[in-house]
Structure 1
């Protein structure tokens, strides 16, 4: 078991029984990111672009989509992670009202609107992502992806009042907000792109699959809050939407006890995910497809853990891979 060290504490990290896989195109994806930083993201500072390079989104995609079947599909997944993170960082200081325009524009572009001279590089990257996705998916899939993209960006809006006022929501609200704003619900759609195995409507819309996607997003939100805790503490208490810090404040706990309780909550959800993966309903002739998709949710959870521990510098206390908005 690995551990995290912060404030003189040695804290255990999450453990899983899910497979730890990595697609073979991580380095190729990183080279693509270097090119994007000189084109779509050239409007960012040199420091910010260097920090995003240190984030290693290509390795994140390769681990989360370890079953990816070719490089082009993995590049699309890498673009999704990169663009969404830059969007989140860049617009993080905005108020709810200020977020309305860029959020509306992302949805317009995902629906096929032409770019304009006022669109920044984030929007250009999003337009390219749409083209890449439609090479592998139909409009029905795209409609579902757009819906789940709006879950992410409206989650950002839900965070905004707390970030502006530097207040902490309740634990219930923190969990709901983070489950949306972590962006994983849309990322679970990308499993179908990576594997070349689209889900038919009777699987994609089934309550069991929808619940599994949301549970995956919730557990990865808590996972993120555990691994980013030292960075957020190092930022001087400006971060208010973190499950550990919420538990600490709401229940008046020590940092260690709050972390322990967050990990326990995380483990309960992981147990539920595992149970649901192994007891899927009957999908008839598509049973194997459903099993593969559900299993790849576990690969995503484990893959992100491996990325935190082996690849990225984004969540270190010195924030070497973290680009604050400009």
Structure 2
């Protein structure tokens, strides 16, 4: 509770965002709980910074979704990328810059050089995905399912959330483990499951705010020319089969992994469970979502999903 109290107090002290409606919705969300409940071995001081980062991350999501100029989105994304790579750089015209620089400097202070590089590499994917998503949104188009999945890997911001877990714990995963394709698959599955939880809960909000062109359910509905109910059922199946694979790969890696890797794998599972609970209780979404858990039902098809951009995940099973 103390972590969340300090993170929300910090957000209240910030000058941005200026819109009082957006600001109040952000503060009511309790975004910092996404961090504080997923890393039981995390250092308190680091988790507090992570909680602040979650508030700011949602502020950025709202800001980018409210833009109507692709040029503005590209300029902001490039500026933020430069700010994370060089937090001491003198930049202007970047949204929420003082808050962003504070978070980056704190994370770089805590992280090893390797951990910070891993984090910023994932965040770079988010900045690259923003104009790509906006191009669909401005044109009123919905990407095909395979493109949507690739885009969602970057756009959700969950990839950097997953990468930050080892920073909170203070233990660096050895490169020979971190760089293995099987762990890359685990990180990608965790990223998409976290992003899809948000899709399941935010479909009404996306429609209200003008987003939703990259929501998993919307993409399935458009591609299959199906009803919303049929698309939702397929989305749950995709979730369950991905979750099943995550459990299998996590067990496979943990069997002979270092303690750092085992802690990271456990935190990924906790992060997903926590995200489900957080969305269910969050007034930011305030809607009944699809029923998903981290315990897939029995009898699932164990074969790869027919989504080319992620079917390689199943090849990592031994």
TM over 0.5: yes
Q: In the alignment, what sits opposite 2:48?
A: 75
Q: Unaligned regions of 5+ residues in structure 2, if any?
A: 288-318
Q: In the alignment, what sits opposite 2:286?
A: 316
Q: In the alignment, what sits opposite 1:269?
A: 242
**Alpha-carbon distance in 1 for matches of 2:91, 2:124:** 24
Give the total of aligned pairs. Answer: 287
User: Is the alpha carbon distance of 1:96 and 1:251 closer, same or farther for their aligned partners in structure 2, counting shifts above 3 Å?
Assistant: same
- 1:267-308 deviations in whole A, cap 9, x for unaligned? 11000000000111775xx52221221121111111101111
Tell me if the contact between 1:219 and 1:270 (Cα under 8 Å) persists in the aligned partners.
yes
**Alpha-carbon distance in 2 for matches of 1:238, 1:204:** 34
SS of the aligned residue for 2:225 comes to coil
- 1:59-106 deviations in whole A, cap 9, x for unaligned? 22222x332433211111112222222122112224443222212221
Q: In the alignment, what sits opposite 2:112?
A: 138
Q: TM-score, normalised by structure 1?
A: 0.81
**Alpha-carbon distance in 2 for matches of 1:221, 1:138:** 27
- In the TM superposition, what is the alpha-carbon distance from 1:230 to its structure 2 partner? 3.1
SS of the aligned residue for 1:197 comes to coil
Q: In the alignment, what sits opposite 2:125?
A: 151
C-alpha root-mean-square deviation of aligned residues, in Å? 2.3
Q: In the alignment, what sits opposite 2:156?
A: 182
User: Is the alpha carbon distance of 1:253 and 1:226 closer, same or farther for their aligned partners in structure 2, counting shifts above 3 Å?
Assistant: same
Q: TM-score, normalised by structure 2?
A: 0.83
- 1:212-260 deviations in whole A, cap 9, x for unaligned? 1011111222221111123334x28753221111111221212111111
Give the alignment of 1:163-178 within 5 angstroms.
163-178=137-152
**Alpha-carbon distance in 2 for matches of 1:250, 1:100:** 28
**Alpha-carbon distance in 1 for matches of 2:112, 2:170:** 12
Q: In the alignment, what sits opposite 2:232?
A: 259
**Higher RCO (C-alpha 8 Å, min separation 6):** 1
